[in-house]
Amino acid sequence: MHKYKGSSKLMLQPENTEELSQILKYCNSRCLAVVPQGGNTGLVGGSVPVFDEVIINTRRMNSIISFDKVSGVLVCEAGCILENLISFLDKQGFIMPLDLGAKGSCQIGGNVSTNAGGLRLVRYGSLHGTVLGLEVVLANGDVMDMLGTLRKDNTGYDLKHLFIGSEGSLGIITKVSILTPPKLSSVNIAFLACQDYISCQKLLFEAKRRLGEILSAFEFLDSRAMNLVLNHLDGVRNPLPSSIYNFYVLIETTGSNESSDKEKLEAFLVHAMESGLVSDGALAQDLNQASSFWHIREGIPEALMKAGAVYKYDLSLPVEKMYDLVEEMRIRLGAEANVVGYGHLGDGNLHLNVSTPQYDDAVRFVFLLHKSKNGPTVLLLIIIRTPQQILAQIEPFVYEWTSRHHGSISAEHGLGLMKAEKIYYSKSAGTVQLMASIKKLLDPSGILNPYKVIPQSLLS
């Protein structure tokens, strides 16, 4: 995954909405392009300047404005770091409806702006459901107060949804009102091994029926992801060491009755073992073990980065088809790359990652002198496919495949800079044209995060 870097000469860190509004008013009047930035953990280059855009970082806008312990509605500034909100709510007996591996750095404004999915979406849904209101500053500096705290409000168009997932291209989110679920007492985690992908898929089907309302996460990873984590992360142990299985599934349940929840999960696991869906499994006996299971799943991105260069694809696909793409990609790339599949199986979200030792633009030729037994010495010219050619083996194949299977080329990470021109693999021309019209209406000078999300050609 290339890390982008622009040539910005200026980063501004406003302290409040008023300051941010003044900055945008000034930049808009002088057609100065800006890049809104939160925790900078985005994976599609959305928070990084392309040229010399002014960076507007929200990190200093990090106060909690209010929390209603009856309704669970939290109102805070966009620069609040997700992990800090998680800790604040924990003391109040509540949780954030989203959790992701980047929680230590990502900000709630960035989460809303990318419509982040994460590890709990299967239970608490998307931010389009849990975000009740937003305060947004438009390109011209106007402050839009849509900071409602009501679950139901059908008075006119619900415009906040335009900004959820807009990746800083329609306005800068300065405050968020979000519905937070109560923290429940009984959380159980099972780490299971499956021989094949169809078993993972059937396990999901069974989990939704037999665990029902207490299911709070359903993640999967293949053996290559497991091997990467075991080889590149310190202190990680395979909870099922008897052998390397082809697939692993992490199931979390969250409920209010420890004994019946545990009973329900154990009955589900017995059924899964007896029906052959699961070959081995472990139920976390304490918090330590539970976090060690999560550490394996959440550690995959870090392990991938340590393994070398990585090409990341965050895809929504029909669950029954999802792993076919990983297998087809392995056939296409052969031994040139390590193709890894993992993700939020509960949401139909595959993280397909292609790992190679390094990026290398130069084409590699290797000359070999070959002395055959009775014949002449011949000079062999061997061309080694380089990562750029590896990229050509991946794209546009992965996008065409996803489009053919009616999937999305970006399930949760957004389009940013990296995938803006790929939008047509998942959206019709008419839809993209309407997006461009809305963008031009809200940001007529095109100063907000140019080159991101939609093709720039539609905006000039």
Residues that bind ligand FAD (CB under 6 A): 35-43, 46-47, 58, 78, 100-102, 106-107, 109-111, 113-114, 116-118, 167-168, 172-173, 301, 412-413, 416, 449, 452
CA distance 402 to 240: 33
Tell me the C-alpha to C-alpha distance, in Å, between residue 297 and each of 46, 343, 408, 412. 25, 9, 23, 17
Instruction: Determine how β-strand 54-57 pairs with β-strand 11-12.
Output: parallel
Q: Which partner in ligand S2G, ligand FAD, none is near 38 (CB below 5 to 8 A by kind)? A: ligand FAD
CB of 284 to ligand FAD, least distance (A): 20
Closer to ligand FAD by CB, 136 or 290: give it.
Answer: 136
CA distance 339 to 330: 6
Residue with tokens 């995938």: 419
CA distance 184 to 73: 17
Quick one: how far is CA 233 from the chain centroid? Answer: 20
340 binds ligand S2G (CB under 6 A): no
- CA 130, 132, 135: angle at the middle one, nearest 5? 125
308 binds ligand S2G (CB under 6 A): no
Residue of this chain nearest to ligand S2G (CB atom): 301
419 binds ligand S2G (CB under 6 A): no
First CA to last CA across the chain, in angstroms? 28
Tell me the C-alpha to C-alpha distance, in Å, between residue 449 and each of 15, 56, 121. 20, 10, 27
Tokens of 80: 């609040």
- x/- site string to ligand S2G, residues 138 to 177, per CB under 6 A? ----------------------------------------
Give SS3 for 299: coil
CB of 448 to ligand FAD, least distance (A): 8
Closer to ligand FAD by CB, 249 or 269: give it.
Answer: 249
Q: Which partner in ligand FAD, ligand S2G, none is near 107 (CB below 5 to 8 A by kind)? A: ligand FAD
Single-letter amino acid, residue 261:
D
Tell me the C-alpha to C-alpha distance, in Å, between residue 454 and each of 46, 211, 431, 434, 437. 11, 40, 11, 11, 11
Closer to ligand FAD by CB, 46 or 281: give it.
Answer: 46
- x/- site string to ligand S2G, residues 27 to 46, per CB under 6 A? ----------------x---
Q: Which partner in ligand FAD, ligand S2G, none is near 106 (CB below 5 to 8 A by kind)? A: ligand FAD
250 binds ligand S2G (CB under 6 A): no
106 binds ligand S2G (CB under 6 A): no
439 binds ligand S2G (CB under 6 A): no
Closer to ligand S2G by CB, 39 or 450: give it.
Answer: 39
Q: Which partner in ligand FAD, ligand S2G, none is near 351 (CB below 5 to 8 A by kind)? A: ligand S2G
Tokens of 242: 């008897």
Q: Which partner in ligand FAD, ligand S2G, none is near 62 (CB below 5 to 8 A by kind)? A: none
Single-letter amino acid, residue 14:
P
312 binds ligand S2G (CB under 6 A): yes
Q: Which partner in ligand S2G, ligand FAD, none is near 312 (CB below 5 to 8 A by kind)? A: ligand S2G
23 binds ligand S2G (CB under 6 A): no
Kind plus residue range of the DSSP H or E element containing 247: strand 247-255
Q: Side-chain half-sphere of 86: how many Cα atoms within 13 Å?
A: 14
Are 300 and 342 in contact by the 8 Å Cβ rule? The answer is yes
Identified binder of ligand S2G from the candidate list 125, 301, 308, 446, rule CB under 6 A: 301
CA distance 262 to 277: 20
List of residues contacting ligand S2G (CB under 6 A): 43, 101, 300-301, 312, 314, 351
